[in-house]
Each structure stands twice: as C-alpha cells, then as structure tokens.
Amino acid sequence: MSKQALTPQSEDFSKWYNEIVYRADLAAQSPVRGCIIVKPYGYELWDHLKNNLDRRFKETGHQNAYFPLFIPESYLKREAEHVEGFSPELAVVTIGGGKELEEKLVVRPTSETVIGEAFSEWIQSYRDLPLLINQWSNVVRWELRTRPFLRTAEFLWQEGHTAHATHDEAEEETLRMLDVYADVAINEAAMPVIKGQKSNNERFAGALRTYTIEAMMRDTRALQAGTSHNLGQNFAKAFNIRFLGRNNEQETCWTTSWGMSWRMIGGIIMTHGDDAGLRLPPRLAPIQVVAVPVYKNEDEHRAVLAALNGYVQALRAAGVRVHLDDREESPGFKFNDWELRGVPVRLEVGPKDLEKGSVVLARRDIPGREGKQFIPADGLVPAVQDLLMTVQANLLAEATAFRDANIHDVRSYDEFKQVIESGGFARGFFGSSDADEKAIKEETGATLRCYPFEGSAERGPCFYNGQNEGRLAIFAKAY
C-alpha cells in the first residue's frame, strides 16, 4: 500500500473517493469496461449490509427466489414506459452455443418483466395473495460514465417484487419497504436519510409512484440510497397477472418493486469518510476492533502478544469482530493503515499497559488524544461493546448535524441558485411543471430529489415562478 497521503476531501472530493475505494482495498479496477472487482474487505461490508436487509425482509414475510439472468427482448417491450426507460442501457446476448440466437436475450437490468410473467402463472386466486418475493442478484446497465460502487455496468443488489389484491395493500407494502430501507440506512449504516416521493420526471420507468430515501454526502451532494415503487396495475396488465377474487370474478393484481444495491457502500464511504480515510459504522464494519501490539524488543513482543491473544479471544467470544495485526511493521504504520480502512476501534497494548493491567482504546471517529482512553484490562469486553455503540451513535449524530446544517430553505429561484452553487440541499415550495423541473436541471445541475414526507401537508408559493401553489420539495446535485 502506498504511504502517500490521500487527496484531501476539500481539494477534490471525487479524487478522494476513488483513492479511498482502491487504497482501503474495498475494490479493484477490473479489465472489463465499467465493471469493478469487489475485494474481500468490500465484499464483507456488503455481506453485513445484505444480512441486515435479508433478516428484515424475512421478518416482514418475504421469501427469496431466483429468476433467470436473461430476459427475452420481447418481454421488455410489453410495458411501454419501462422499455423506453431501459433501452439505452442494455447489454444484449446475440450468440449462444456458437449460433446466432433467434430471439435476442437482454441481460437483466431489473426483473419486473420476467418476474411479472412468472407471477401471472403462480397467482390463481386471492388465496395466493399477497405474494412477497425478494431476489438477490447481479444486474447490468450499460453506463457510459462509471464510478466504483456508485455507478457500474454490473452491480449486486436485491429486488423485491410483490403482488396484492388492492391498490391500498400495494401502497402499504411500498411504504413498509421504504421504512425497512430507512431503518437499515439509519440504524445500521448510520446514514441519516430523508424519506420522500419522486417527481414524475424521476420516478421508475413504469411505476405509478416511486418513493426514495435520500442521503447527503460530505460534499453536500445527494445520494439516492434505495427506492420503492408502487407499480399500480401497469405491469400486471402487461403481463396478465390476474386472480379470482372472493366474489368469484377475475381481477387484476397490484404490484410493487423495491431495490437497494451495493451503491450503499459508496454512500457509507461518502457519508462518514474523512481525510485520513474510511470511517465505518461498527454495525457493518468487517473489522470492528483491530488489536495492535506495541513493543521494542522480542521479549516485550512475546509478553504483549500473549496478553493480546487473550483479549482477542474474549472479544471474539462476546461476538466482536476483531483482527490482531501482528505484522512486522511499526505501530505507527499500522495505526495509519487501519485508520485508512476505517476500523472503528483500535486496541493497543504495550509493556507499560501490561504492568498497569490496562489497555488503550482509540476511537476512529475522534482523532488524537481526545479519542483515546485507558481501560482496566478486566473490564475490556463491556468497555469495547459500549464504545462500539457510542461510535455508531456518534457517526449518525455527526452526519445528521452536517446534513441539517446544509439544508437551506429557499423562497426564490435566485436563492435556489445560490444554494445549489455554494453546495447543499435547497428546500422550497415547488409547483411548476415537469418541463420547468427539467429546465432547472439544465440550468443548475440540480434535480428534484424528493417531495419529503416531513412537511408534505405544507403548501406555499412556488420558488421558481412565484405564483403557483407548491408542495415542499428538496433539490440537489446528486450522484
């Protein structure tokens, strides 16, 4: 690993991001255009996120299944908005087993179509509803400008797909899963998010309504961290998903879909990271505690290591993910290395600590002496458990304070432009047309991130044209 310092965030946030992704060993560049290789450290972070989501999906009654990677081209064309939305970014298989295929196969960009077709066969009567399915899979969207985790041609994600007897049940499901996403973002990733509804321009291709959780990165840009779609009867009509109702009449289902991807890893990096590197939330960190021996000679090394091994075992037995770094390098090198990789807590033990029967705990989220404490060795396990919770809470508090300080209320388009230019979310009443929304994007680069749930009842004069009554909206430049 290069010992050169990271580019400071304030100098070039984008450059900082790319450097930290590769230098913290989360991912590696791949020889395949637009794709990345997720290295073990990044994959384990994803695995923790995945397990936390999967548990919640099961608690809310969903089951996992697996559908084909390939989708016949004709399927995609059945829902008009859907094909228009996804056509420009498809990867297409035209050769199979050495022969030109009769019907081209699209590599799934999302699976509403192939799952819709399956649902139409699986669902016969109201007894089969609701049907609550989730899929963990890879999907492909041919992107021209890619960034590791945030925008890659292939990415890993989950996509939920459900069918219901009524609009209201579908709407309830759509909002329930948005809540699950918000819960995971806030309470696992320590990433404060704003729940809201997408505008017509920004909703999913084929959806009735799209809900979103929007986070603020440390450069004040927005990141869409998860979306949940009420698909109405659009896909049910296109794929003939019907059921025999209680009244013995054929009815059309109402469906939903919702997805979260490894983009969340990019979100975690950009929500918490600082100029020294990553800062991972303890609940998702592959390594929660790194143990570093401090010594000057082999005798000290042996003694310190023996003690550390005991501590490590005790922590592991208590369910703490701990790594003992006994490499030959100096403690200083190791401290920097694990700071770069964002390990929440460092456990140091040197000969003096042994004498005193104490250990040093250093927090990644608070640099320098302030974040260091001496703890009696026999109270190590509860102290570490407490500290991990404290770090988790502090990361969330910091990110929330940062976000709230960078949301600005605007009453005019001039104020709006000033906010967007100097950085931050612009919040104001918006009541102009879809075309006006596009014109704003054109001129300022900011998009309507969402109509937030909080304050959704408020109305006021549109900041853009000053006349129409508008709903509260949040605009920002976004990833």
Among 14, 55, 81, 88, binds a second copy (CB under 8 A): 88
Kindly tell me which of 33 and 356 has the beta carbon lying closer to a second copy. Answer: 33
Q: How many residues does the chain have?
A: 479
Residue 331 found at the interface with a second copy (CB under 8 A)? no
Partners of residue 473 on adjacent β-strands = 428
Give 419's DSSP letter.
H
Among 95, 317, 435, 457, binds a second copy (CB under 8 A): 95
Identify which of 337, 336, 358 has the alpha carbon closest to the alpha carbon of residue 348. 358
| Site residues (CB under 8 A) for a second copy, limited to 150-169 | 153-154, 156
How far apart are CB 324 and a second copy at their closest, in Å? 15
Identify which of 215, 210, 238 has the alpha carbon closest to the alpha carbon of residue 225. 215
Kindly tell me which of 87 and 385 has the beta carbon lying closer to a second copy. Answer: 87
Residue 433 found at the interface with a second copy (CB under 8 A)? no
Retrieve residue 232's tokens.
Answer: 């109405």
Residue 72 found at the interface with a second copy (CB under 8 A)? yes
Q: Is 35 left (phi over 0), alpha (psi -120 to 50) or beta?
A: beta
Residue 64 found at the interface with a second copy (CB under 8 A)? yes
Among 20, 114, 241, 253, binds a second copy (CB under 8 A): 114
What are the strands, taking DSSP E only, across 221-264?
A: 222-230, 242-244, 250-252, 254-261
Tell me the three state secondary structure of residue 289. strand
Kindly tell me which of 5 and 28 has the beta carbon lying closer to a second copy. Answer: 28
Retrieve residue 72's tokens.
Answer: 């016949």
Tell me the three state secondary structure of residue 159. strand
Kindly tell me which of 70 and 453 has the beta carbon lying closer to a second copy. Answer: 70
Identify which of 259, 282, 280 has the alpha carbon closest to the alpha carbon of residue 270. 280
Among 10, 12, 14, 37, binds a second copy (CB under 8 A): 37
Residue 70 found at the interface with a second copy (CB under 8 A)? yes
Residue 38 found at the interface with a second copy (CB under 8 A)? yes
Give 282's DSSP letter.
T
Q: How many angstroms separate the CA atoms of 386 and 391, rounded? A: 9
Type of residue at 134:
N
Q: How many angstroms separate the CA atoms of 47 and 26, rounded? A: 13
Among 7, 87, 240, 252, binds a second copy (CB under 8 A): 87
Kindly tell me which of 122 and 295 has the beta carbon lying closer to a second copy. Answer: 122
Select from 138-146, 187-195, 208-216, 471-479 the region that touches a second copy (CB under 8 A).
138-146
Residue 269 found at the interface with a second copy (CB under 8 A)? no
How far apart are CB 330 and a second copy at their closest, in Å? 16
Question: Is the sign of the CA dihedral 149, 153, 154, 159 positive or negative?
Answer: positive
Among 6, 24, 36, 347, binds a second copy (CB under 8 A): 36
Residues that bind a second copy (CB under 8 A): 28, 30-32, 35-40, 43-44, 47, 63-72, 75, 87-98, 104-105, 107, 114, 117-118, 121-122, 133, 137-138, 140, 142-144, 153-154, 156
